[in-house]
């Protein structure tokens, strides 16, 4: 493992030699190198003043060096050079991240980098942003330096509060959380939930341990750790292939349970359950989760609005129907009035159990009863459909994320734009500019009010409030989720990347990116590595989020992409989707022309 330490004055001559070898690696001629020598020389009395550090291997061989020069609020990355034999092995990445970390500690908020043109791709991939001007080369010398800037940032306040600023044990108990509600709209086998348990990698900005029901590819965890700068992450996977009993499987292994609970690190689950309470030594209070019910959440929203103070918020009307026949009667009455309707199960997740029915669909089917087979059994909620903005490109589905800490304090995380189609969640985008300015203030105010009510009810943990935007631009709250979700994962990754690469990241989670073919594990690793390189060339970051879907009969991936502009983010997502879809092209020549079509693919679910 490469280690970073402070350079010593006695190493100045040897470090100068490393710098010149690294510069020569790019093919500059002797005259150019001779002209650069004075500028690149490191003198013993400069080593401490320029805050030079070195990266060394386990045998103590120096592989590279970097300097952080100047003081807050603006500093300079004066040197970053890697021994030619070590280029491409991640040494430069380690040194660059160390410079950003030290800059944060010293209060630096703007880091200037004058890059050799051959290294410009590296700094772009590391998250530095090209500056408007480039520095001129010395007279008579080839190649202008390329100027970049970075904005060193500490870990967000909410992220430090979430896990106390340290690492955490992540428990992927998605199926276990879903199963406790017994909702008829959910898959009894919880197969989708086991895929979504892979998101346990991102339950906080920096895990120490991942606990997963299904086995995951080793190459996946290695790439995720490299992209997010994690080291020393332990993975315990393959504990449960079917059913919801992940935590019970952990408790049945005393040594593993002791490892997870004995390190003094917080245990972070997808959501609270009785088995998790036993594992974590946390009193189980089933009543904490009552607002996971869509009907209970609707009542909570109504009580908050009755108190006033939220003029930009409207509440859709909602009626509980005892079963499908009662729901059909209510649906028929609304259809006769020309109104669309949202039918919801009590605890459906990710759009499961949620159906939008228009008056035209009722007429085309010959009446509401003909649509009964589309509805889950059991109690149903019949809700007014909220017409959205006339502009199809306008923001429609938004969410607020926050959490209640063990002391009952509410922490605001932020707002996100969700991708929802026909009631099914497909992904979300977080970061600067993701949510329209006029919607953000009322959304944050109402989300905080919900958080205070949840805290008063005894709930402790992550929560969100989902909204739709009506035709007049007002926000209509639709449900709460007392657990982690896809948007929360995007917030975690954004916080990590901001601390790792500088502030200002937009992060998009796309729950389902279709693959053109099923791949062996080695080829899946190769595809993900190619996508990481391709996104880096765009100035974006690619992180595979859900790898196990790639082995389904209709293969898919869950992915995260990050960038500093919506344009780059869109380009990165398009690259990922097109490359993933093209995976099967190589097999077309070997398959019969009359082969059966691919199985129908359902939309991704938000657990």
Express as a percent the part of the chain with pLDDT over 90.
77
Residues whose CB is less than 8 angstroms from the CB of residue 258 and which lie 6 or more positions away in sequence, other chains included: none
Q: Which residues pair with 337 in a beta bridge?
A: none
Contact (CB, 8 A) for 90 and 96: no
Compute the 3-state secondary structure of the chain and give helix, strand, coil in percent, each to the nearest 5: 40, 25, 35
> Would you state the structure tokens that stand for residue 604, as one six-digit string?
């991704």
pLDDT at 405 > cutoff 80: yes
- Determine how many CB atoms are found less than 10 A away from the CB of residue 148: 23
Helices 218-228 and 486-501, packing angle to 10 deg: 50
DSSP secondary structure string for all residues of 187-239: -TT-HHHHHHGGGGGGSSSSEEEEE-SS---HHHHHHHHHHHT--S-EEE--S
Cα–Cα dist 298/383, whole Å:
10
Cα–Cα dist 345/183, whole Å:
7
pLDDT at 325 > cutoff 90: no
Average the pLDDT over 395-411 and give the result.
96
- pLDDT reported for residue 318: 95
Higher pLDDT, 55 or 244: 55
Radius of gyration in angstroms for the set of CA atoms belonging to the chain, rounded to a whole number:
27
Q: Report in angstroms the alpha-carbon separations of 316 from 358, 462, 471, 573.
A: 16, 25, 13, 34
Cα–Cα dist 108/102, whole Å:
9
**Mean pLDDT across the chain, nearest whole number?**
90
- pLDDT reported for residue 457: 95
Angle at CA of residue 468, ends 463 and 474, nearest 5°: 110
Reported as a single tens digit per residue, the pLDDT across 162-221 is: 999 899 999 999 999 998 887 666 666 667 888 999 999 999 999 999 999 999 999 999
pLDDT at 440 > cutoff 90: yes
Contact (CB, 8 A) for 100 and 64: no
Residue among 294, 292, 300 nearest 180 (CA): 292
pLDDT band at 355 (very low <50, low <70, confident <90, very high): confident
Domain boundaries, the chain: 3-150, 318-384
Cα–Cα dist 21/501, whole Å:
27
Residues whose CB is less than 8 angstroms from the CB of residue 123 and which lie 6 or more positions away in sequence, other chains included: 96, 113, 115, 146, 148
pLDDT at 70 > cutoff 90: yes
Average the pLDDT over 24-33 and give the result.
92
Average the pLDDT over 94-103 and give the result.
96
Contacts of 436-442 with CB under 8 Å at 24 or more apart are: 436/394, 436/395, 438/473, 439/312, 439/395, 439/398, 439/415, 439/469, 439/473, 439/475, 440/415, 441/312, 442/310, 442/311, 442/312, 442/313, 442/475
Cα–Cα dist 481/467, whole Å:
12
308 alpha-carbon distance from chain centroid: 34
Contacts of 274-278 with CB under 8 Å at 24 or more apart are: 274/180, 275/173, 275/176, 275/245, 275/247, 275/248, 275/251, 276/171, 276/173, 276/176, 276/247, 278/247, 278/251
- As assigned by CATH, the class of the 3-150 domain is alpha beta
pTM, full prediction: 0.91
Reported as a single tens digit per residue, the pLDDT across 213-247 is: 999 999 999 999 999 999 999 999 999 988 789 99
SS (H, E, C) 433-462: CCCCHHHHHHHHHHHHHHHHHHHHCCCCEE
């Amino acid at each position: 493992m490469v280690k970073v330490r402070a350079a010593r004055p006695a190493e100045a001559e040897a470090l100068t030699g490393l710098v010149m070898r690294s510069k020569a690696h790019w093919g500059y001629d002797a005259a150019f190198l001779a002209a650069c020598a004075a500028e690149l020389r490191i003198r013993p009395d400069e080593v401490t003043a320029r805050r030079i550090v070195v990266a060394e291997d386990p045998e103590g061989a120096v592989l590279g060096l970097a300097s952080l020069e100047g003081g807050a609020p603006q500093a300079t990355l004066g040197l970053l050079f890697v021994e030619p034999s070590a280029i491409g092995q991640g040494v430069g990445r380690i040194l660059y991240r160390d410079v950003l970390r030290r800059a944060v500690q010293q209060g630096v908020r703007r880091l200037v980098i004058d890059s050799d043109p051959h290294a410009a791709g590296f700094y772009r991939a590391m998250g530095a942003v090209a500056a408007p001007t480039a520095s001129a080369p010395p007279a008579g010398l080839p190649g202008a330096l390329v100027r970049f800037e970075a904005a060193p940032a500490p870990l967000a306040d909410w992220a430090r509060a979430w896990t106390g600023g340290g690492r955490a044990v992540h428990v992927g108990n998605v199926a276990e959380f879903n199963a406790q509600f017994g909702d008829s709209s959910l898959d009894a086998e919880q197969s989708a939930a086991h895929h979504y348990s892979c998101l346990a990698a991102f339950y906080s900005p920096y895990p120490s341990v991942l606990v997963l029901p299904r086995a995951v590819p080793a190459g996946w965890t290695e790439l995720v750790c490299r992209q997010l700068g994690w080291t020393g992450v332990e993975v315990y996977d393959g504990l449960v292939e079917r059913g919801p009993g992940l935590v019970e499987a952990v408790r049945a292994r005393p040594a593993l349970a002791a490892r997870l609970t004995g390190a003094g690190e917080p245990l972070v689950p997808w959501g609270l359950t009785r088995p998790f309470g036993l594992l974590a030594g946390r009193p189980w209070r089933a009543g904490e989760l009552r607002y996971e019910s869509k009907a209970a959440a609707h009542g909570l929203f109504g009580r908050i609005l009755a108190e006033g103070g939220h003029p930009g918020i409207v509440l859709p009307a909602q009626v509980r129907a005892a079963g499908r026949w009662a729901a059909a009667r209510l649906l028929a009455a609304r259809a006769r009035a020309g109104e669309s309707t949202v039918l919801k199960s009590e605890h459906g997740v990710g759009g499961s159990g949620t159906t939008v029915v228009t008056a035209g669909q009722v007429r085309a089917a010959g009446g509401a009863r003909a649509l009964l087979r589309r509805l889950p059994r059991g109690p149903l909620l019949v809700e007014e459909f909220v017409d959205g903005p006339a502009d199809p490109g306008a923001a429609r589905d938004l969410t607020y994320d926050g959490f209640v800490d063990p002391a009952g304090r509410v922490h605001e995380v932020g707002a996100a734009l969700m991708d929802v189609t026909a009631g099914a969640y497909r992904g979300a985008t977080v970061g600067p500019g993701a949510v329209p300015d006029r919607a953000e203030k009322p959304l944050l105010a109402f989300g905080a009010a919900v958080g205070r009510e949840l805290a008063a009810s005894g709930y402790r943990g992550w929560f969100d409030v989902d909204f739709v935007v009506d035709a007049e631009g007002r926000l209509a709250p639709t449900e709460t989720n007392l657990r982690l979700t896809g948007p929360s994962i995007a917030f975690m990754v954004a916080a990590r990347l901001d601390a790792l690469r500088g502030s200002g990241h937009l992060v998009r989670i796309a729950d389902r990116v279709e693959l053109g073919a099923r791949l062996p594990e080695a080829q899946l690793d190769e595809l993900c590595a190619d996508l990481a390189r391709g996104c880096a060339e765009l100035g974006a970051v690619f992180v595979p989020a859900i790898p196990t879907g790639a082995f389904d009969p209709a293969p898919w991936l869950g992915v995260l992409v990050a960038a500093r502009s919506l344009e780059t983010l869109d380009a990165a997502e398009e690259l990922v989707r097109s490359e993933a879809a093209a995976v099967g092209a190589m097999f077309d020549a070997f398959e019969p022309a009359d082969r059966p079509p691919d199985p129908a693919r359902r939309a991704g679910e938000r657990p």
